[in-house]
Structure 1
Amino acid sequence: MNLETALDRLKEKGYKRTKQRERILEIFVKQDHYIAAKDILKKIQQDFPGVSYDTIYRNLYLLTEEEILEATELGGEKHFRLGCGTHGHHHHFICTTCGKTKSIEFCPMDKVQGLNGYDIENHKFEIYGKCPQCS
């Protein structure tokens, strides 16, 4: 996803285009890995010194809710990344050192047994480890 696509998606949903939101998205467009909210705050404060942690978190959760960002938990802390451009159902390998991701083009849920009678509404599957560069 690119910056204009993300901003257009927000506009279609009725959200305002703010400088802070635009800057948050610019940071994600330039990265190819998950980023902690505290790191986003540090980068944003270079341009907007008065921005609060709450403002950053509200925007990150809004962008996640609108499926512009993806979220995961690494080391007990929420990390975010721009939604990948892969179309269709897939999952990710996530490097626990650098946060880079690799798409997994199959779904492990296809192999899950023993849930007869259960109504599965959604699922999330991530594999964590070290990428070749960090090993």
Structure 2
Amino acid sequence: MKAQEALKLLKEKGYKHTDKREDIINYFSTEDRYRTAKDLLSYMEPNYEGISFDTIYRNLHLFNQVGILESTELNGEKHFRIKCVHHHHHHFICNECGVTKEIRSCPMDDIQGELQNFAIEGHKFEIYGLCPQCQ
């Protein structure tokens, strides 16, 4: 998702456009990896003196709920990235730096036959390990 798409979605859902929210969205739209609330706080502090973890977490939760960010848990901590919207795929996620690599094949193609009498409402498939730079 591009930053302008995210800001438009936020407005469509009835939420205010603020400089902080725009900066958060811009941060995630330029990062091609999962990032933590602490990473975001470090990015925001130089421009927003006194910004709190509460403000960071509140906005991360909102953006996740609205569909601007997606989340995963790495090493016992929640990480976020801008939501992918263009086509169905899954991710390899580096446990060290959070970088992601798109995986286009979907295990559901093989599993659906085993779940014929079930109503599948969604799924998530992630592979964790170390990227070439972190190995």
Taking structure 2 as the reference length, what is the TM-score of the superposition? 0.89
Per-residue Cα deviation, 1:64-100 (whole angstroms, up to 9, x for no partner): 1222111110000000111235x22211111111111
**Could you tell me which residue of structure 2 aligns to residue 28 of structure 1?**
28
SS at match of 2:16: coil
Q: 1:116 to 1:11 in 2, by over 3 A?
A: same
**Following the alignment from structure 1 to structure 2, what is the Cα–Cα distance between the partners of residues 84 and 32?**
11
**Following the alignment from structure 1 to structure 2, what is the Cα–Cα distance between the partners of residues 79 and 49?**
23
**Could you tell me which residue of structure 2 aligns to residue 95 of structure 1?**
94
**Could you tell me which residue of structure 1 aligns to residue 43 of structure 2?**
43
Identity of aligned residues (%): 56
1:114, distance to aligned residue in structure 2 (A): 4.0
Per-residue Cα deviation, 1:8-45 (whole angstroms, up to 9, x for no partner): 11112211101111111121122111101111112212
| Count of residues in correspondence between the two structures | 134
Taking structure 1 as the reference length, what is the TM-score of the superposition? 0.89
